[in-house]
Amino acid sequence: MSHETVVARLKAEAKPWPRGNRYEDFSPGRDFAHHWGRTVTEADNTLFSILTLNYNPQYTNAEIARANGHPTTPVNPLLVFNTVFGLSVEDLSEGGGPFLGVEDCEYLAPVFPGDTLTARSRVIDARESDKRPAFGIVTWATQGFNQRGEEVIRFRRTNLVRKRA
């Protein structure tokens, strides 16, 4: 078969692997245990902190971190937030729809390089959008945990979420 024939068959016959949820999937009370988890490394912490210009030196200078009372450089809390948020995206928001807001984000325990983050979410509200009939408005309560099961962060996120066509 020619390459063109191979590609034509792929495009005509392959089934799209399903990914992401839609508005109809978010019944209030539904729980999601998000994929993968992420061991946060010192390199992650340094790279994230310097690319975002986050010049609190306790994230990039271990001596200052210790002088501040930490055992070593704590992971930048915004990296904890972005990682837990990132792990939740496939289940919650990859199906499409703009971000509306985050409320009540609390940092409950410090995270250190080598800790492994996992994320869970619960649907706490789902309602129609008056302005955009193709979307609904969904709010989730998301929690991040370390490898000992201790909750390190929680927040509530609201998105517009696309409905099924």
Partner 1 sequence: MSASAALTSANNYFEDFAPGDLWRHRRGKTVTEMDNVLLTNLVMNTAEGHFNEHAMQQGASGIFAQRVVFGGINLSMTLGLAAQDTAEQVLSEVSMTGIRLSNPVFHGDTLYAFTEVLSAAPSDREDAGLVTFRHYGINQDDKLCVQADRTALMKRRSHWGAA
- CB-based burial label for 149 (10 Å; 0-12, 13-18, 19+): exposed
Separation of CA 101 from chain center: 14
Can residue 52 be called a binding residue for partner 1 (CB under 8 A)? yes
The answer to whether the beta carbons of residues 152 and 80 sit under 8 Å apart is yes
Can residue 94 be called a binding residue for partner 1 (CB under 8 A)? yes
Min dist. Cβ of residue 155 to partner 1 (A) = 8
CA-wise closest residue to 32 among 93, 110, 101, 78: 93
Min dist. Cβ of residue 91 to partner 1 (A) = 9
Mark the segment that binds partner 1 (CB under 8 A) among 4-12, 24-32, 90-98, 121-129: 90-98
The answer to whether the beta carbons of residues 118 and 34 sit under 8 Å apart is yes
Can residue 120 be called a binding residue for partner 1 (CB under 8 A)? no
Q: Site for partner 1 (CB under 8 A): which residue of 22, 30, 62, 105?
A: 105
Using CB under 8 A as the criterion, which residues of the chain lie in contact with partner 1 when the complex forms?
Answer: 19, 36, 38, 44, 47-49, 51-58, 61, 63-64, 67-69, 74, 77-79, 81-83, 85-87, 89-90, 93-94, 96, 98-107, 110, 155, 162
